[in-house]
Every structure is written in C-alpha cells, then in structure tokens.
Chains A and B, each alone.
Chain A
C-alpha cells in the first residue's frame, strides 16, 4: 500500500515562495507520477501540475505557468512543489496525489492515492 506524507503547515508573507514536500512510502516502484492539487478555503479543487518520476517531464496548469516548479528526488521518493510570488489568494490546502496510469487500448490516468494536505497561509 502506498502512502504519501506531506510536510507541515506554512505561513508566508506575500511575495515569498513556498516549497511543499510529499514523500511516498510503501509498495512503490521506481516509476510513479505525482500531481499537485490545491483547495482554497470553502472552494473546489484546482489541478496545478504533474511530474513523471520516470523521465522528469512536467506539465503545469496554464494558470500557474512561470510561478510553479514541481520536482522529484527519486533517491528519497520525495516530490516537491514550489510556488513563487505568493499572493493572498494562494492561501489553500495543497495536496499531492499519485497518478496511476495504464494502457488498455488507450492511456488511462487518474489520481488514486492522496496525501493529507498541507495548509499554506499567505499573510503579512
């Protein structure tokens, strides 16, 4: 069974950067993909981006292009999400999720294991 353990809550001033970690443990192989999803207080889910640990390829939601970097350290099975130039509306719970995918006539992708979330508060 795979578990994703995220780093603790952060409080940052506007304009700063935050880096949230997500450590995978359990029954994982060397190839796993991680997505990041956030949820502002009282709001819905927002997909932010995705990294393939197999080749390091990333895809980011257009909204976050230029402000987000997702990386992985395969030696520690840890993924990171860095968000820069923080604003008050970046205050949210940030989730990492394992992306599972397989081929069965076409590619299937979905997020099947989730971390518990990291609260990031942007406040002066």
Chain B
C-alpha cells in the first residue's frame, strides 16, 4: 500500500504569507488520483484540488497544486484568515496523508 507522508506537521504563518505544504508518496502516484482536502474543526473535509493541479469548484486561485510521481505540493499564495485549517493529501482508493496543520503565528 502506498504511504503518503505530509510535511511539515504544523506550519505557523501570518495572514498574507505563503504556505507550502508537501505530500510525498512511498511509490509513484498517478497525478489524476491525487487530491487535496481542507478540514476545519467540527466540519467535514472540503475538496480543494483534484488531479494534483485542478482547483475544485469555488476554490480561490490563491490555492495551487503541483508535482508528479512521488512529490506533490499545495501552495497557498497569500493566507487569508479562513485558510487556517488542516490539509490532507489523498490518493483515491488509498490512504490519506497524516495532515498538515496551518495555524496562525
């Protein structure tokens, strides 16, 4: 089974700063199966990105995805207050990464 490892575990940043979240796979992952989800406390996850690069409906363009094979990145170009949350990468049909918490510095 493919293991996804996210880093860092916690990212402490200020509003307006750039966030770079990493997701590393133990084996090659198809980019078309790689998605990113955002989750806030007490809420269900929300789809941010699919196919590694494509933003889901309604997701602002400050969110972008990149990567291939075993290394994927979610970038938030300028953090808004509502972006402070947990972020998970996921290979459809397999495991989630353990998550990165983006918190206010």
Interface residues of A (CB under 8 A from B): 37, 44-47, 50, 59, 61-62, 95, 97, 99, 106-112, 114-117
Do the beta carbons of B99 and A45 come within 8 Å of each other? yes
C-alpha gap A12/B46 in the complex (Å)? 29
Do the beta carbons of A111 and B47 come within 8 Å of each other? yes
Do the beta carbons of B39 and A45 come within 8 Å of each other? yes
Q: Min CB distance, B51 to chain A, in Å?
A: 5
Interface residues of B (CB under 8 A from A): 1, 30, 32-33, 35, 37, 39, 44-47, 50-51, 56-57, 86, 88, 90, 92-99
CB contact under 8 A between A44 and B47, given known A62-B1, A106-B32: no
CB contact under 8 A between A112 and B37, given known A44-B88, A50-B93: no
Q: Min CB distance, B32 to chain A, in Å?
A: 5
Do the beta carbons of A112 and B99 come within 8 Å of each other? no
CB contact under 8 A between A45 and B37, given known A59-B93, A95-B44, A112-B56: yes
C-alpha gap A109/B56 in the complex (Å)? 12
Do the beta carbons of A109 and B99 come within 8 Å of each other? no
Do the beta carbons of B50 and A108 come within 8 Å of each other? yes
Q: Which residues of B contact A106 (CB under 8 A)?
A: 30, 32
Q: Which residues of A contact B88 (CB under 8 A)?
A: 44-45
Q: Min CB distance, B19 to chain A, in Å?
A: 18
Do the beta carbons of A47 and B98 come within 8 Å of each other? no
List the 6 closest pairs (A to B, CB-CB), nearest first: A110-B50, A114-B44, A109-B92, A45-B96, A110-B35, A108-B32
C-alpha gap A25/B96 in the complex (Å)? 27
Q: Which residues of B contact A50 (CB under 8 A)?
A: 93
C-alpha gap A44/B37 in the complex (Å)? 12
Looking across the interface, which residue of chain B has its beta carbon closest to that of A35?
Answer: B92
